[in-house]
Amino acid sequence: MVNAINIKTIDKPGVLRKVTDFLAKKNINIVYTHMFQDSTGYAHMYIELEDVIDIENLLNELQNFDEVFEVNISPSTDHVWGKRIIIIGGGAQVSQVALGAITEADRHNIRGERISVDTLPLVGEQKLTEAVRAVGCLPRVKVLVLAGSLMGGTIVDAIDEIRENYGVKIISLNMVGSVRDHADLVVTDPVQAGVMAVMTVANTAKFDIDRVKETL
């Protein structure tokens, strides 16, 4: 079972280390964490934890830290946002893929799924390569849709990396360039590509991307 907590702290060096050292001494495993500073200058830590025996006692102990202002139990990002679909490419194509993905995700989320859709309109080989590689640093990403009219070169290397290292499925529009040869699925219609992306990850859909070996 994963427990998630939010910690509001003083923004100064060493606070994160103090908290993580404390958790490690209790043999609590950190599954995921991120930090940010709010507009008032306070730091916030969101942490997902495994192997917590007594969550209430843990909150009380963290609350006694001099640097901590507030500690609260939080729903996990998996529970709130669920599986993530990332759409990257030209603005016109991205918007159409998003239309299909959001419409289809709505159907499945109503039935109990949690699927979220992120978009990034972007052009240029270097920028696209950086964005594709960065997908590997994001949590809960299941599918990357590449939406454009021309992609190849170093983008292909980035695609192969995230497929092999992170298990992200790749859907490509039927475009010019070598990207489509490295995708798990090539779809001609952008709206349909968005629908297929959601069907790939939805437990309430009967679709297996690994069994489709053709361009749709």
CB-based contact 85:116 (threshold 8 Å): yes
CB-based contact 113:204 (threshold 8 Å): yes
Rounded to whole angstroms, the Cα distance separating 179 from 170 reads 10
Mean pLDDT of 72-80: 93
CA 21 to chain centre: 27
Mean pLDDT of 135-155: 95
Rounded to whole angstroms, the Cα distance separating 186 from 174 reads 6
Q: Give the alpha-carbon dihedral of 196, 198, 199, 202, to 10 degrees.
A: 170
Q: State the residue for tokens 């009380």.
A: 60
pTM for the full model?
0.88
Mean pLDDT of 47-58: 94
Domain ranges of the chain: 3-75, 81-211
22-41 pLDDT tens trace: 999 999 999 999 999 988 88
**SS3 of 99, please?**
helix
Compute CA distances 210 → 37, 108, 153, 185, 214, whole Å. 42, 21, 25, 8, 11
3-75 placed in CATH 3.30.70.260: yes
pLDDT bin (cut points 50, 70, 90) of residue 180 is very high
181-196 pLDDT tens trace: 999 999 999 999 999 9
Q: Give the alpha-carbon dihedral of 198, 78, 27, 21, to 10 degrees.
A: 110
What is the average pLDDT score of the chain? 93
CB-based contact 169:142 (threshold 8 Å): yes
Rounded to whole angstroms, the Cα distance separating 42 from 20 reads 18
pLDDT bin (cut points 50, 70, 90) of residue 61 is very high
Return the CATH class of domain 81-211.
alpha beta
Rounded to whole angstroms, the Cα distance separating 50 from 26 reads 11
Q: Do domains 3-75 and 81-211 have the same CATH topology?
A: no
Q: What is the pLDDT of residue 115?
A: 97
What are the respective helix, strand and coil percentages of the chain, to the nearest 5?
40, 30, 30
